[in-house]
Every structure is written in C-alpha cells, then in structure tokens.
Chains A and B, each alone.
Chain A
Amino acid sequence: MPRRAGAPEVNAGSMADIAFLLLIFFLVTTTIETDAGLDRMLPPIEPPETDVIIKEKNIFQVNINKNGQLLADGELIELDQLRGKAVAFLENNGDGSCTYCSGGKKDASSSDNPTKAIISLKNDRETKYATYITVQNELVGAYNELRNRESERLFNRPFTNMEAEYTKQETPAEVKEELKEKITRIQEMFPQKLSEAETSSSSSS
C-alpha cells in the first residue's frame, strides 16, 4: 500500500448551485412583512349604563362625505388644515385648568381642557377607504404632535420614539417599566378620545 498520504478531496463545485437553489426557494415562498398601522379601539356594543352628558363645545365633529370632502365643526375645510384645527381644538384650554397647554387660545366656544376634548369622526358608506385613513392619520398626527411636544419638554425625547421602543420585543424589562410610566403620564395629559360613530347611509344625508 504505497499511496495513503491524502484522502481524496470532495468536489465542492456544486455547493454554490445547491445554495442558490435554496436561496431562490426562500425568495419565492416568503414575504417581508409590512405590518404597521393605526391602532384603534372600537367602542363596546353595550351602551354605557349612565348617560354621560358631553357639552357640545367639547366635541370636534369631523364628517367625510362620499366625495371625500371634509366638514369640521360645521366648516368645509381642506385636508391640510385639519391637523392644525384639531391641535387648536385639543389644547384650547377653555376653563384654564390645563397648565401645560402653552398654545391654548382659551376660546369659550371650543373645548374646556384636553381631558374632556373628544374628536368624533363620521363617514359616509361610500367614502373611499384611502380618504378615511388619511383623515385618521391627520387626527392621530394631531395627538402625536401635542404629546411629542410635552414629552420633549418633560423627558427630552419624543413620545412616538418612546412608544416605539416600548413595543419592541428586544427592549429589556426594566427599561420598559420606566418607559411605561412616562408613556402613561403623557397619555393622561392628552388622552386619545377619538370616537368612530356608525356610518350614515348616503340616503339620509
């Protein structure tokens, strides 16, 4: 037995082909998830036991008709104006009890304070979904704008940023605990009261 020196080398030339095959398989059968969106709570179906009386001035009524036109508090407005109007309504601070509403106009015919202010969104059955989402986005944007401002003032970082870190799974528990405290504090300052009433049919409007 003279030739024992080296074991014969395995040909690895086809390795690349095999790997490519697997790669292509995974490319075809999988998707990169695009799951992000606007979180909303629906109102419960049971009517509340005690009727809560809400003053007319504490409600900011937004109506979208089937042509995508906007009616905010009885005024026909453009979409670009909506966010500004909602912000002005939320931090109006009519009764002066809100110490952090720096931009409040204290208009007597608008909301008392941010904890009482309610935005009510109504739409027609024929309204396009894209329009509806755009309006929702603007209203959530109005809340976020105010929350970010207060969060920057108190904790030196935007609210949306804290929230994103809180929902991340990699965030350690102790950091989450601390974030939760801050998040609830800001949320109490500007509670998101966005009501989605049942849609009206086009015949009645």
Chain B
Amino acid sequence: MMSKFKKNMRTVPEVSTASLPDIVFMLLFFFMTVTVMKDTALKVENVLPNANEIKKLEKKDRLVFIHIGRPTGSFETVLGTEPRIQLGDKFADASDVGPYVLAKRARMPEHLRPFLTVSLKVDKNAHMGLVADVKQALREVHALKINYTTYEGDAHKNLE
C-alpha cells in the first residue's frame, strides 16, 4: 500500500501546455472583435455622467464626436482648469465647431449626410455655458441631431 503511494509521488505527470496557444488565441479573437482601435488621444478629462433612459448608438459611420472637459495633466499648466473643447485631437474654440462638423459631413458618403449625429462627450463637471455655445454653433451649421453620450447607470448618482 505504502509503496504504491510513494511511486506516484515520485513521477508527477507533466501538465500538457499544448492547448495554451488555443486558449490565448481564443481570447485574442474575442478582444479583436469586441473592441475598436482608439483613434483620438484624449486631452481633456472625460468622465461622462450616468443616465438610464438611454439609447444605444449603433451606427458608427455617421457619428461626429465632440469632447468637452478640463485639460488633463501637462495641458493643465498651459491652459488652466477651465473646461475646453477637443475636436479630433486638438483643442478648439466654440467657433471652430461649425467648420469641423461641416468638414466631417463633407467627407461622409452622400446618403449618410442627413443622418449625421453629433455625440457630445461632456465631462460631468463641465458647466452648461460651454455646452450651450457648442449647441448654438451646431444649430448654425444645421447639425441638429445630437446625442448626450453618457454611461449607463443611476442618474441620481450624478449629484453626489
């Protein structure tokens, strides 16, 4: 009896790692399909508020993003702590919003242009003044469909 145990202890069977690449490849494909490449580096703080009565933005080809928030990190020393607008990957004024959206619209295929939607990604600590300026600029170029992009969650948490 004892000798049988001893025998087993001596020769531990090696764990086969042959399926490891398969597992890792599976993970890889999962991440390749559900994620998208980051196209812009964020230069502003962008913690979106929560909301629960939201609709998903399914079609990515007709979206134009506008980020608003406090400049982050090293930009803060140059630009201060007041919220700023980021278009593409640079800082901009409210007056640049119109031309930016028009340029984006011109680059879109013609059948998509009427459906252009502007996704406003605004930091929850930004004030409405800047958002109002952006909205006014969007009205001037007739980009009327907007989406206040938010996280999914309890809206009442925003006030804490």
Seen from chain A, the residues whose Cβ lies within 8 Å of a Cβ on chain B are 12-13, 15-16, 18-20, 22-23, 26-27, 29-45, 68, 79, 123-134, 136-138, 140-141, 144, 160, 163-164, 167-169, 196, 198-199
Name the contact of A124 in the complex, choosing from B36, B37, B128, B139 (C-beta under 8 A). B128
- The verdict on B18 contacting chain A, using a C-beta distance below 8 Å, is yes
The answer on a CB contact under 8 Å between B142 and A36 is no
Residue of A nearest to B31 (CB): A26
B116 CB to closest chain A CB (Å) equals: 12
B97 CB to closest chain A CB (Å) equals: 13
CB-CB under 8 A for A126 and B31, given A29-B38, A133-B155: no
CB-CB under 8 A for A36 and B129, given A22-B28, A129-B124: no
Q: Chain A residues near B55 (CB, 8 Å)?
A: 36-39, 163-164, 167
Name the contact of A125 in the complex, choosing from B36, B123, B129, B155 (C-beta under 8 A). B129
Total interface residues on B, using CB and 8 Å?
Answer: 60
The answer on a CB contact under 8 Å between B21 and A16 is yes
CB-CB under 8 A for A38 and B123, given A30-B36, A129-B128, A199-B129: no
Q: How far is the CA of A136 from the CA of B131 in the complex (A)?
A: 14
Seen from chain B, the residues whose Cβ lies within 8 Å of a Cβ on chain A are 17-18, 20-21, 24-25, 27-28, 31-32, 34-38, 48-60, 63, 117, 119, 122-129, 131-132, 135-136, 138-140, 142, 144-152, 155-156, 158-159
Besides A123-B128, A126-B129, A198-B132, 18 more A-B contacts (Cβ < 8 Å) are A16-B24, A26-B32, A34-B151, A35-B149, A36-B149, A37-B57, A37-B148, A38-B51, A40-B148, A126-B127, A129-B126, A129-B128, A133-B50, A133-B150, A136-B51, A137-B150, A137-B155, A167-B55
Across chains A and B, which 8 residue pairs bring their CB atoms closest together, nearest first?
A: A125-B129, A30-B35, A130-B124, A130-B158, A19-B24, A37-B149, A15-B21, A137-B155
Q: How far is the CA of A23 from the CA of B33 in the complex (A)?
A: 12
Residue of B nearest to A42 (CB): B144
The answer on a CB contact under 8 Å between A27 and B147 is no
Contact residues of B: prevailing secondary structure: mixed
Of the A-B pairs whose beta carbons lie under 8 Å apart in the complex, a sample of 6, sorted by A's number, is A133-B148, A134-B158, A137-B150, A141-B52, A164-B55, A167-B58
The answer on a CB contact under 8 Å between B53 and A144 is yes
The answer on a CB contact under 8 Å between B119 and A23 is no
Name the contact of B138 in the complex, choosing from A12, A23, A42, A163 (C-beta under 8 A). A42
The answer on a CB contact under 8 Å between B156 and A134 is yes
The answer on a CB contact under 8 Å between A130 and B145 is no
